[in-house]
Structure formats: structure tokens, C-alpha cells
Amino acid sequence: MKTLFIGAGSMAHALMGGALSAGVLTCEEVYVTNRANQERLDHIMHEFCVQKVNQDTSYDVIILAMKPKDFHEAAESIRTHLKENTLVISVLAGITMDHLSDKLSFNGAMARAMPNTSAALGKSATAVSFNKYLSHSQKEWTTTLFRSVGTAVEVEEEKLDLITALSGSGPAYIYYVAELLKGAAVKLGLEEDLAKGLVTQTIAGASAMLTDSGLEAQELRKNVTSAGGTTEAGISALEDYHIRDAFFQCIASARDRSQILGNELKRQSLKK
């Protein structure tokens, strides 16, 4: 599959690396372009031995991996690379497939995905939506692409703003929790390196239990929480500070922001 990556940022790098490692793509099939950062483009081409874009060439797959705000400016040049049976895959937050199709003047196969930055380690949780024009083989190929950097599930496009808030932004919430746990431990008397190591391994162990034990998070939590014990005291403090409400508002606010950003981009495109 002759594949063009538009954008050479961290997500393009992760997808490219995963696809090449898994054999989903070969380096001879991969082309890449980047709007501004030539140094970044040169680095990625050297690292993966992939090809520089040919301006007037069409591709079997085009992966939109630029910043969402740069899409409208790039749309005209993207059209020159499209053919009737091209598969367009977008990892642009907030921009719907209908809007992409309209701006690209393209009524063909399109997928929209929301990976996260853990793709760099092959640990992404990715949700993918498809329009009605994909063939069975194109769907399978797209799913295989995203499974090369973690897990991938198919969802309705209407759920992607919420999934952006949950798993797209999710790693940052976990990092924030790690930051706060370490900070509290240091403030209460632990050395910083010791606190960091304990927090990191605790989160890794808890993640493994969620993945491998077959138990729900609630059950795992209850198994650790003895009546009158230290864990119960800690969780009680979290509840006193309305931790459930805080996490609900966290996800809801991020979802709403994804919707707002998408609507702003649509309005901007209408003014041009």
C-alpha cells in the first residue's frame, strides 16, 4: 500500500514505526511530508529509510497527521494526491469525516482515529470510525495499522469527542496523578528519587492487574481496601474532596473542548 504521511510529528512517528515493525508497511511504500520542520522531516526519513513525497503522485493511503489547525491550509495540496480508491485516514482531533470530505472534495473511503501518545511504546488505546465507502480489506488494513501500536476498537464517529477526552487525553491524567502522588510523598518526607520509583512501579503494577487479573477496577480496589485500614483512610479523604466529581468534570470538560475546537475550525473554513 503506497502510503503518504502528512505530518512528521510524534503521532506520525509512532504509527510509522509500528507499521514498519509489524510489516503492515515496508519502507519502500512509505512517503512523508511536513509543512515547516525540515529537520524533523529529515530525521524521520533517515530513521525509517522512507521516501520523500512526490508532489504529483497519488497514493493508496493518505494519513492526515498534521496539527488540526493546519488542515485547511493543506487541503488543496492534499487533493493532488487523491485518486478514486484512495483511503484517507485522519488522526486529527475534532474534525469530522464529513468536514474532511467537504474540504478535500472527496467522496471516498475515509477513517477517523483517536490514538494516544502511548503509541510510541506500542501501548495506545485507539478508537476508529469508518465511513460507508471502505471495502472490507480497507477496514481490516486500517485496524491492523492501529493494532501495530496497541489496541484498536471500532466505534461510531459521534463517540470520538468523548473518547478523545478519555483515552486520547487519558495518559496526561495518569501522569498528573503520578506527579501529585510523588509530590505528596516528598512533602511528607520521602526522597524524590525513592518516591518517583515507588509511584512508577505502583502504577505499572496496578495497570498489569487491570489487564491480566480479569477483575474489574472496583473489585480490585475493594480487595486492597480493608475496613478501618490505611487504604480506606486514603480513599475516604479522596471522597471528602469529591474526587468522583472532579474526574467526571475532567472528562466532560475535555469532551466539550474537543467539540468546541472542531466547531471553531469549521467556522474558520467558512470565512475563507
Q: Which of 128, 100, 124 is nearest to 113 (CA)?
A: 128
The predicted pLDDT at position 271 comes to 65
For the chain, which ranges sit under pLDDT 70?
A: 270-272
Phi-psi region of 261 (alpha: psi -120 to 50; beta: other; left: phi over 0): alpha
- Output the CA–CA distances (angstroms, integers) from residue 216 to 83, 112, 155, 221, 222, in the order listed: 47, 29, 22, 9, 10
Instruction: Give the length of the chain.
Output: 272
d(CA 74, CA 6): 9
| Residue closest to 155 by CA, chosen among 97, 69, 74 | 97
The pLDDT score that the predictor gives to residue 266 is 79
Phi then psi for 35, rounded to 5 degrees? -65, -45
Within the chain, where are the H helices?
10-22, 38-48, 71-79, 97-104, 136-147, 160-163, 170-187, 192-212, 217-224, 230-240, 243-271
| CA–CA dist 160, 163 (Å, integer) | 5
Gap between the Cα atoms of 91 and 18, Å rounded: 15
Q: Which of 171, 184, 49 is nearest to 116 (CA)?
A: 171
Distance set, CA 161 to CA 2, 96, 124, 150, 157 (Å): 30, 10, 17, 20, 8
Domains of the chain by range and CATH?
Answer: 3-160 (3.40.50.720), 169-241 (1.10.3730.10)
Distance of CA 204 to the CA centre of its chain: 20
**Helix 97-104 vs helix 243-271: crossing angle, to nearest 10:** 20
Kindly report the number of other CB atoms within 10 A of residue 218's CB atom.
8
Q: Which three cell numbers stand for residue 244?
A: 468522583
Let me know: does 103 contact 83? Beta carbons within 8 Å.
no
The order of strands in the sheet holding 61-64 is: 51-52, 30-33, 3-6, 61-64, 87-90, 110-114, 124-130, 150-154
